[in-house]
A and B are shown apart, each in its own frame.
Chain A
Amino acid sequence: MIEVKNLTFSYAKDKQALHGLDFTVGDGEIFGFLGPNGSGKSTTQKILAGILKGHGGMVSLFGQDIRSIRSQEFFQKIGVLFEFPYLYANLSALDNLRYFASFYPKEQLRDVEEVLEELEFKRDFLRKPVSSYSKGMRQRVSMARALLSNPKLLFLDEPTSGLDPTGAVLFRKIIENERQKGTTVFVTTHNMLDADLLCDRVAFICNGNLVALDSPRNLKEQNSKRSIVVDYLYQGQRYKKTLEAADLKSGIPFAYDELISIHSQEPTLEDIFVQYAGRGLS
């Protein structure tokens, strides 16, 4: 679906934002693009979404070089959720969505109210102006805008930003449903939980360079210490012991009365990012 070779981009002569990125995203894959502010992830997404021109290297989407793609046909195939919910504040959710829907062919469109219902949007607010909505409701309307054209490729920038935990779970479920329908999803996020739970593969970008690319599971396994920490009671005293995974082959290798907890020492995605990039995500 997406093929990127030696992608470079400069905002000015001495301000190179991307230094030769290489990656591919397969059909129906959820691909996470992770990096701190100013690392180049928004620039990459904008190039892939056809918003930013003038890049170096090769970017191919739907099997075609992005430079040769006819923009209207291309934009009919993609859906984009921006980091902020950009909507007409004086119009209602329905009017906003009907307005944006009017740019797509009718046969491609989903029913606006049905999409909003799937996103658990409060029906009482359907005809109220967006200015009266909470951030979570605005995010739901923005997501509806991205989904209502049945895109084949979905770009999501911080999809769960501004949502409560229930909303975040719902969004992750909806993104997963989209993937099951065959949609390719390119997620840009700071949120490591989203990346971990959603993405088939993640790429870490730092200062315009890709520093790692693999599935969250592989990244964690490769960087795991392969040890566990056991909390236990023995003869009325509480103890903590760190063991190598191999030590557990023949059971717990020490005497105990009661096991309180066993913690694997698997690193989080954020730990791995810090390890590769030498800095945190914020």
Chain B
Amino acid sequence: MMGKSLSALFKKDCRMMAAGKFFVVALGSLLLYTLFINFGYVKFMDANANIYKVYLYDPVGAFGQVSPLVDKVGSLEELNEALALDIGSGVGVKVLAGQPEVVMYRGAEQADRHRVDYALSLLHSDGEYPPEIVGGNTVEMKLRREITCELLFIEIVAVGFLGIASVLFKEKQMGVIRVHAIMPLPKSLFIFSKIFLYLVADLIFATLMTLFNIGLAGAGSILPGVLLQTAILSLIMALAGFGCVMLFKDFKQFSLAYLVIALFAASPVFLSANTSIKMDWIDCHPFYHVYMGLKNAFFDMPGTGPAYYICAVCAIILLSMLVSAAFRQEMSKEG
């Protein structure tokens, strides 16, 4: 009987999602992201792959043979001028007492070591200064993994969250949630069916995103990790969306909450992960850990420990309990 009820709920939810054009939107997003990554982002970023310009002021000629990628300058003023024009990525090297001294006008903290290594390796083209190799990704593959991870995160945080909310708001407005209060079925099945359906949709989306943008060869090893992280994010967002619909009266109120949640979930994460803005408190931001979990999975890095998984499970259990209470309250409201 429970299986029959769940199957009926599942079929109905699929129809509601189809009627709300959820599948069309998800397919459109997948297509758009894939086209953007393959024909826009990767090509554009690849054209600018030679990103760190190295300027060398070596008046005594301490470094005779240097890489052709190094731009030699004739004076300190010229070096300063070049760096002033190339604030974001330029690296200056001045050799005054026989020892190279690195000069940078601006840079992200995490990227400095990277730039210094790059500049010094160009000066020692004989292999005396071998740069540390991190990972086996080509520039293009690194870019693909980064942007696929970011877009997948956005898709689940924003679109998935809105998707479940739009279907539930329709049911709430039609009053049918209250009818389920007098149906002979465990009420948690109503919640479970929806969360499960959105989880499956997100997992399919993540699989296709990974396959289309990382490629079959690269996706094979990372897919289990990506799907695990996607499942954690999807469950959290779907439960949060469900809870918000139960708490808020109409879509207008929900839209405001959505803005706050989307900003809370996404902004600090992207600012911290992709820009030079430094936020000491980012470690306290729960979505930063979820995002880093997903990013580590895309780069096949063992970055997520058991504490993260324990917290994620606790968060999902807590959200489930809150959603269940809000759902029961909604069912007993006045007609």
User: What residues make up the interface of A, taking CB atoms closer than 8 Å to B?
Assistant: 42, 46, 49-52, 71-76, 78, 80, 82-84, 86-91, 99-100, 102-105, 145, 157
Which of B153-208 touch A at CB < 8 Å?
Answer: 171, 174-176, 178-179, 181-186
Q: Is B121 an interface residue (CB 8 A)?
A: no
Given known A46-B332, A105-B1, contact A90–B16 (CB-CB < 8 A): yes
Chain B residues closer than 8 Å to A88, beta-carbon distance: 12, 16, 171, 174, 176
Given known A51-B181, A51-B331, A72-B186, contact A86–B16 (CB-CB < 8 A): no
- A42 and B19 alpha carbons, distance in the complex (Å): 33
Contact of B183 among A75, A91, A105 (CB under 8 A): A75
Q: List 22 A-B contacts (CB under 8 A).
A: A42-B334, A51-B178, A51-B181, A71-B184, A72-B184, A72-B186, A75-B182, A75-B185, A78-B182, A84-B335, A86-B178, A86-B335, A87-B176, A88-B12, A88-B171, A88-B176, A90-B19, A91-B15, A100-B183, A102-B4, A102-B8, A157-B335
Instruction: Please tell me the size bucket of the interface on B.
Output: 20 to 34
- A89 and B5 alpha carbons, distance in the complex (Å): 20
- A62 and B171 alpha carbons, distance in the complex (Å): 32
- A101 and B165 alpha carbons, distance in the complex (Å): 26
Cβ of A82 and Cβ of B174 under 8 Å apart?
A: no
- A145 and B182 alpha carbons, distance in the complex (Å): 11
- A87 and B180 alpha carbons, distance in the complex (Å): 11
Q: Which of B4, B174, B331, B334 has the most CB of A within 10 A?
A: B174
Majority secondary structure, B binding face: helix
Cβ of B185 and Cβ of A103 under 8 Å apart?
A: yes
Chain A residues closer than 8 Å to B7, beta-carbon distance: 102
A141 to nearest B CB, angstroms? 12
Chain B residues closer than 8 Å to A75, beta-carbon distance: 182-185
Cβ of B335 and Cβ of A82 under 8 Å apart?
A: yes
- Per-position 1/0 for B10-23, Cβ under 8 A of A: 01100110010000
Cβ of B182 and Cβ of A80 under 8 Å apart?
A: yes
Contact of B5 among A74, A91, A102, A157 (CB under 8 A): A102
- A11 and B174 alpha carbons, distance in the complex (Å): 25
- A51 and B178 alpha carbons, distance in the complex (Å): 9
Chain A residues closer than 8 Å to B175, beta-carbon distance: 82, 84, 86
B166 to nearest A CB, angstroms? 13
Chain A residues closer than 8 Å to B332, beta-carbon distance: 46, 51-52
Which A-chain residue is minimally distant from B1 (CB atoms)? Answer: A105
Which A-chain residue is minimally distant from B187 (CB atoms)? Answer: A71
- A78 and B184 alpha carbons, distance in the complex (Å): 9
- A39 and B96 alpha carbons, distance in the complex (Å): 93
Chain A residues closer than 8 Å to B176, beta-carbon distance: 86-88
